[in-house]
Amino acid sequence: MYKKLFILLLLAGLAVSAQAQTPDTAGVAKPADTLKVKKEPAKPRLAPSAVRDNFKNQPDTLHSPHKAVIRSLIIPGWGQLYNHKWWKVPIVYGGLGLIGSAIIFNQNYYSQFLTIAQYRRRGEQPSPGDKYYTEYQAFSTASDTFIENAVNSYRRNRDLAILGMLGGWGIQMIDAYIDAKFIHSYSMDDNLSFKVRPGLIGQPMYAGNFNTAFVPAIKVTFAF
């Protein structure tokens, strides 16, 4: 009997020992993570082309290229003043002034030789004191061909000078637009267009007796 009791006690002790050695995973708490890493939100990185596009499409609303063009259209040099380009104003007026003097010079001689040619066609002579009387006497020995060529030459030079005036006026408008767009803004659009086309201009009625009723010309068109 003692032998059986001893065996039972031995088996019970082994069972208790085995249960004590089994870890209790349910009751063991996980150790706290004492090292905390602060995570910052990732900053978006833009591609160089996207950055350039974003920068390009931000115009300066306080400085309008449209206003610069309109002011240069009304008064030459006004757009340059609007863009704070003071030093360009003397250049604008110097160039336009030279072209204007060429227009006046050729127009005066054109009117003079045209009057002489008209007197000769009618077979008349101006009376003393009439306009161009002195000039008529000065060219009294000149041939009719010489007078006609002089009329055509001065008319052509006058027309070219007028085209030069229009071209100079348009150039200072474009200059004002470009300064306003590139210096005071970050973008460039297609609102301004510049077209040059050949064409014909009808002669005035008092000059319609010559070889042709039309003279070649250049048409300049601005759109903004």
**pLDDT tier at 112, thresholds 50, 70, 90:** very high
Residue 51, pLDDT > 50, answer no
* Average pLDDT value for the chain: 77
Max Cα separation, the chain?
Answer: 175
DSSP state letters, 152-217:
HHHHHHHHHHHHHHHHHHHHHHHHHHHHHHHHS-S---S--EEEEEEEEEEPPGGGTTSS-SEEEE
Domain ranges of the chain: 62-186
**pLDDT tier at 204, thresholds 50, 70, 90:** low
* Residue 149: CA count within 13 A, CB half-sphere: 5
What's the pLDDT score for residue 4? 58
Percent of the chain with pLDDT over 90: 43
What is the rounded distance in angstroms from the CA atom of residue 85 to the CA atom of residue 73?
Answer: 16
**Continuous segment of H or E residues that includes residue 79:** helix 78-82
What is the rounded distance in angstroms from the CA atom of residue 60 to the CA atom of residue 161?
Answer: 38
What is the token pair recorded at 10?
């031995």
Contacts of 210 (CB under 8 A, 6+ apart): 148, 151, 152, 203
Question: Could you report the per-residue pLDDT of 72-92, keeping only the tens digit for each?
Answer: 999 999 999 999 999 999 999
Question: Could you report the per-residue pLDDT of 6-49, keeping only the tens digit for each?
Answer: 566 666 655 545 554 555 555 445 555 555 555 555 555 544 54
What is the token pair recorded at 35?
């090292």
Residue 134, pLDDT > 60, answer yes
Q: At residue 222, what is the residue type?
A: F
